[in-house]
Structure 1
Amino acid sequence: MDRNRTVAGLDVHKDSIYLCIMGHDEVIIFEKKYGVLTPDLRQMCNDMVERGVTEAAMESTAVYWVPVWNELCESMELKLVNPYFIKQLPGRKSDVKDAQWIAECLLKNLIKGSFVPEPIVQDMRKLNRRIMDLNEDMTYNCNKLDAAMQRSGFRLSNYVTTIKSKSYQKVLHAIIDGTTDPDELVKMVHGRTVNKHGRDTIRAAVTGRLYHHASGCSETKEI
Structure 2
Amino acid sequence: MEVLHERCAGMDISKRDVKVCIRVPGAPGGRYRNEVTTFGSMTDQILALRTFLLEQRVTLVVMESTGDYWKPFYYLLEDAPFEVMLVNPRHVKGLPGRKRDVSDAQWLADLAAHGLVRGSLVPPPPIRVLRDLTRTHADLTRDRAREYNRLQSVLEDAGIKLTSVATRINGVSCRLMLEALVVDHRPG
Instruction: Please give the TM-score of this superposition, normalised by the length of structure 2.
Output: 0.82
Residues 41 and 68 in structure 1, CA contact (< 8 A), matched pair in contact too: yes
Matched with 2:102 is 96
Matched with 2:62 is 57
Task: Tell me the percent identity.
Answer: 32
**Cα distance in 2, alignment partners of residues 168 and 108 from structure 1:** 65
Matched with 1:166 is 172
Matched with 1:8 is 9
The root-mean-square deviation of aligned C-alpha atoms, in Å, is 2.5
Q: Deviations over 1:59-113 (max 9, x none)?
A: 1112111111111111131111122222222233443222111111111111111
Q: Deviations over 1:136-175 (max 9, x none)?
A: 2211222222333334443221233321233323433454
Q: Deviations over 1:33-64 (max 9, x none)?
A: 11212222111111111211121101111211
**Cα distance in 1, alignment partners of residues 54 and 113 from structure 2:** 17
1:4–1:107 CA distance, 2 compared to 1 (3 A): closer
Bigger radius of gyration: 1
Structure 2 stretches of 5 or more lacking a match? none
1:158–1:88 CA distance, 2 compared to 1 (3 A): same
1:29–1:134 CA distance, 2 compared to 1 (3 A): same
Matched with 1:125 is 131
The code of the aligned residue for 1:40 comes to Q
Deviation at 1:2, TM superposition (A): 6.9
The equivalences for 1:23-172 within 5 A come to 23=24, 27-28=32-33, 30-75=35-80, 76-172=82-178
**Cα distance in 2, alignment partners of residues 111 and 104 from structure 1:** 10
Residues 10 and 58 in structure 1, CA contact (< 8 A), matched pair in contact too: yes
Q: Deviations over 1:167-220 (max 9, x none)?
A: 3234334545x4x5xxxxxxxxxxxxxxxxxxxxxxxxxxxxx5x6xxxxxx6x
Q: Which moved more, 1:84-93 or 1:41-50?
A: 84-93
Residues 11 and 108 in structure 2, CA contact (< 8 A), matched pair in contact too: yes
With a CA cutoff of 8 Å and minimum separation of 6, indicate the structure with the bigger relative contact order: 2
Instruction: Please give the TM-score of this superposition, normalised by the length of structure 1.
Output: 0.71
Structure 1 stretches of 5 or more lacking a match? 181-209, 213-218
